[in-house]
Amino acid sequence: MSDLLVADLNRFAITAKWPARYPERLQLYSLPTPNGVKVSIMLEEIGEPYEAHRVNFSSNDQNSPEFLSLNPNNKIPAIIDPNGPSDKPLALFESVAILIYLADKSGQLMPDNPHERAEAMQWLMFQVGGIGPMFGQVGFFNKFAGKDFEDKRPRDRYISESRRLLGVLNQRLVDNAWILGDEYSVVDIATFPWVRNLVSFYDTGDLVGINDFPHVNRALAAFLERPAVQRGLLIPEE
């Protein structure tokens, strides 16, 4: 283990709270949420060595000074890659930004062709701007504090919008095995953890009528069968 590598990593304040046992590996700070598992699944898929650190919401870790020094937006996931561009450590937050970085670094799961890459970016933004926020709001109003609201109009608004987004995704998958076509990609890794959460964790399958979207269900099942996905969904461990 290089003393220089340890010193470079220790420059990041977050390592005081979550010390690295393997400073030569990419450091992941996360929790098994839809956004969190995007990155752990990606790391498992590309075979990048990493060390996972659990950021516990129950103890408010995400608002600790150490975590905020890495991500001032206090959201998981975040990473430090000690082997970043030009052999310099790179700190990065925002799940899709991390996915794009890892795809480019590894040369995997992102199209090389400029036209296809632009299409991938389009669908990644669809997830970031639509699926993530809307599905998350359905979860809030059905499973968390919002379930106690007597006025169900906000909940129903997000259910309606989630159904619309599922319809867009379902139509895309009519003639495609995966969102970009025949090849599994970073776009699927960004999207399907949210679909899984909508049905299994938020328990809104009946509310959104998930059985109305057979192609989404087919692709979700194929996604969940992948060994790297199965491993990534459990990281960081309890």
pLDDT digits (tens, 9 = 90+) for 98-135: 999 999 999 999 999 999 999 999 999 999 999 999 99
Task: Please name the residue that has the structure tokens 């752990």.
Answer: 40
Tokens representing residue 49 in the block:
């060595």
Per residue in 187-207, pLDDT (tens digit) is 999 999 999 999 999 999 999
pLDDT band for position 1 (cuts 50, 70, 90): very low
Q: How far is it, in rounded angstroms, from Cα 195 to Cα 131? A: 8
Per residue in 40-52, pLDDT (tens digit) is 999 999 999 999 9
- Decide if pLDDT at 71 tops 50: yes
Q: Is the peptide bond before 236 cis (omega within 30 degrees of 0)?
A: yes
Q: What is the domain range of residue 12? A: 3-108
Residue 234: inside a domain: no
The answer to whether the beta carbons of residues 90 and 38 sit under 8 Å apart is: no
Q: What is the mean pLDDT of residues 32-38?
A: 98
For the domain that residue 29 is a member of, what is the CATH number? Answer: 3.40.30.10
pLDDT band for position 153 (cuts 50, 70, 90): very high
Same domain membership, residue 223 and residue 129: yes
Q: How far is it, in rounded angstroms, from Cα 199 to Cα 185? A: 22
Same domain membership, residue 45 and residue 87: yes
Same domain membership, residue 138 and residue 99: no
Q: What is the mean pLDDT of residues 23-33?
A: 97
